[in-house]
Amino acid sequence: MSQSPILVTGGAQRLGRHCVERLLDDGQPVILSYRRERESLEALRRRGAVTLAADFSSEAGIHDFIARLKAQTSSLRAIVHNASDWAPDSLDDDAGANFERLFRVHMQAPYLINLHARELLDACQEPQRDIIHMTDYVSQKGSRKHAAYAATKAGLDNLTLSFAAMYAPDIQVNAIAPALIMLGEGDDEAYAEKAKAKSLMAKVPGPGVIYQTLRYLLDNDFVTGAILPVDGGRHLR
């Protein structure tokens, strides 16, 4: 029996790419979505990953992706919703469009994919099937500069609970809620020290901790409806 692939949305860079690479290391077939062509994609393709371009900023783009996903595979072992858009709030005329884009990427795309790809999960012959949402620490706290981002990630937290109830006991649905996990290319030492000070663990851990959490959910058949914080104790500061 051949293994069903795992779908990772937003799998071309940063946390998504790391998880794709680790899944491939484990011998797991992977389908990943990406927003734009990147040099890293070719390396993933050489390793056997299937790559599908996706535009989650419109409902038509989401449905187009779902149709091409179904043409690519007849089953899925899991869906990891990692696609995200880190956009700050603004007071200009684009504020409404910005919120709508974040809503589509963080909420509507997972919602529609979960509904329309359930048949692919049901077709998997392996004993466990999973949906995992990548949310964010700020969904519980809010954000002064990224209110739309925080609100739509909070909506994804709530979708976790709803789909867990809808799909039990056949499919487990959980979320991972990270705080700062890795630095950006332009972040300097001062920013790194400030970031470390925000958590009790006083470090920027790197993407490995996210894969450890993902692996836990993929391997545990008695967890559903959980939102797992990976924040180094930041919520206790």
Task: Please identify every residue annotated as catalytic.
Answer: 149
Q: Compute the distance between CA of residue 152 and CA of residue 139 in angstroms, rounded to an integer.
A: 8
Helix orientation angle between 95-103 and 147-167, rounded to the nearest 10 degrees: 20
Closest CA to 230 of 203, 193, 190: 203
Structure tokens at 38: 């990147």
Which residue in 211, 142, 208 sits closest to 176, CA to CA? 211
Place of tokens 């950006």: 184
Taking the C-alpha atoms of residue 181 and residue 207, their distance in angstroms, rounded to an integer, is 6
Q: What is the C-alpha to C-alpha distance for residues 113 and 65, in angstroms, rounded to an integer?
A: 9
Are 159 and 110 spatial neighbours (Cβ–Cβ below 8 Å)? yes
